[in-house]
Structure 1
């Protein structure tokens, strides 16, 4: 799944300096040249037009886009292209899409809230919660903690590893689209597979860890954790357009998503995602709700308590990936152009998400594209996000 924003930096230098000579003449006297240097003419400021950016980005690879850019002083919310190619229905600003791994922060938030209620501790071992049958098929399961699953240091095999992803997607396509598929369905593609590392050793992005978190939450609740997500997060935060994939279909509808395959061509993946609900990518949302979720976790002016927000990036939780990038609980933290940027993208077959918050300027950037997992869509959607992010980081 989409993990980290690849930021490309460009610097422009525009200097316009004008100077000219004025010849002064006086009657009966020799001409004398006097040079006068005028102050620099300021460059013409071109206003960055978000609507133009997304309008121009619509192509055969990118059917539709929804974009939110919000600062304390300004808000842009716009849409471009099509929500459905077959019906030619236009994309709308309120449309809902699967947010992919950008929804990991939702699962992480519920886990932290449970800790605040005393139902678990982030450093509890997972063997205290999961069935022995599952634990026996996960290497190092005796030593893995909940925190390590959330910050990808558990070393558990990713069910979307390049060696198993095709098997997973083929199984989804071969199944009844209306069959509800929850965490256990995806987990089967990660069982009895070798660990990437020993628990706590290093960062290895693994969607499987969040499936296991989902099963742990179910055990604690004696019901599916989507109920707690609605009652403890979606409703209190005012995320009224959001719902849990598959299991909460009655709360809304998603737009069509398009995946290009070399063999079968372009097809609509919406019928399959309507019945999928995994804890590693649980959220169906619009751009405003997703931006609201990230902001509440990382910004000071939040509905969440400081204790809850602190758990995401405390020293025990945060993992250094490289010189500029760290990972907390379901969220990347990165230094870009000397600014602190929180983000997590999402990539599904037919859907691409960018979810970003620039702390220094309190700027939210959230974008949805109803295409995903093909090279052209990735290249063109990245170009849009990079252009907007570069503008906001100036």
Structure 2
């Protein structure tokens, strides 16, 4: 894949970018670049192997864990989620199914409305963030949000839907959501540097997420202390390429399950792309995307299926990655034709 290094340099300087850029083609890493700081206050420079948060990119891990349970017969895509929710979240329509949640077509009310006029510096959690350590702990934050439209009527991106999926995972398996994802997705894919990390106890190789492009304001109080079904995985750029290859080689879910997950279920016109189950899809070509944006996180990883190429941008500030993402997206489109 051809990268215009001059244009990339300009994109890096625009916000400015802090994080990691990596391009892998097959078994070869053709670009690995790090910018900014892993920890600004201590002036620890970013490294190419840093663990950085994925925000909503993590939804693919939730979707894959759910599909593993579908393959095992513990869940069914057509099952109404009311069976496992019981009397919890009574405003969720009784006809909402697992498939509706996976495809963002459930119509349930969202605890984090991405269409609202919010700033990255806002404190949007309505319960103490230190209490959010399991999926069940999110229930008070999901309560009282009325249905927006009938299940299956249309696509509407919904964070609450993926937290509900995490609750279903906990109830169907009897273990925490984080342990379920580890056993069902992370370990089969061989991702040694990927997992959920507590924001208030990050290890030395994990990047602090910064709310702004300058200054030391960290995202610790803006997000759940331990991310859940809708976000929170930390990973490395190298592990992302390993993830895509494991996924497409059938080491996480079966080929039939994968075909269903990567089939376009919605045409998302305003995003100029399509959506499957947990994955964004290129508007017309065989390219898969994970994307995440949150306080202290700006992330995208794109995989070109035919050439086994992964292009990843992991930013540890809220908006710093987007000029770089846009520049590399243009290079991807040029390659795809």
Could you state the TM-score of these two structures normalised by the residue count of structure 2?
0.85
Q: Does the 8 Å CA contact 1:139/1:192 hold for their aligned counterparts? A: no
2:287 matches 1:354: no
Alignment match, 2:268: 321
For this pair of structures, how many residues does the alignment match? 332
Structure 2: unaligned runs, 5 residues or longer = none
Alignment match, 1:12: none
Match of 1:68 among 8, 22, 26: 22
Alignment match, 1:393: 336
Structure 1: unaligned runs, 5 residues or longer = 1-46
Moved more, 287-296 or 348-357: 287-296
Note closer, same or farther for the CA distance 1:164–1:125 as it changes in structure 2 (3 Å cut). farther
| SS at structure 2 position matched to 1:143 | coil
2:84 matches 1:129: yes
Alpha-carbon deviation of 1:93? Answer: 1.0
Alignment of 1:218-367 (within 5 A): 218-246=170-198, 254-260=206-212, 267-270=217-220, 275-297=225-247, 299=248, 301-304=249-252, 305-314=254-263, 318-322=265-269, 325-335=273-283, 339-367=285-313
Relative contact order higher in (CA < 8 Å, ≥ 6 apart): 2
CA distance, structure 2, for counterparts of residue 82 and residue 159 of structure 1: 32
Post-superposition CA distance 1:343-371 (Å, at most 9, x none): 12101101111011112322111110111
Q: Does the 8 Å CA contact 2:126/2:141 hold for their aligned counterparts? A: no
CA distance, structure 2, for counterparts of residue 227 and residue 131 of structure 1: 23
2:51 matches 1:92: no
| SS at structure 2 position matched to 1:260 | coil
| SS at structure 2 position matched to 1:202 | coil
Could you state the TM-score of these two structures normalised by the residue count of structure 1?
0.74
| SS at structure 2 position matched to 1:281 | coil
Alignment match, 2:101: 149
Alpha-carbon deviation of 1:57? Answer: 4.0
Match of 2:326 among 351, 374, 383: 383
Match of 1:77 among 29, 32, 35: 32
Alignment match, 1:38: none
Q: Does the 8 Å CA contact 2:169/2:180 hold for their aligned counterparts? A: no
Alpha-carbon deviation of 1:235? Answer: 1.7
Note closer, same or farther for the CA distance 1:189–1:78 as it changes in structure 2 (3 Å cut). same
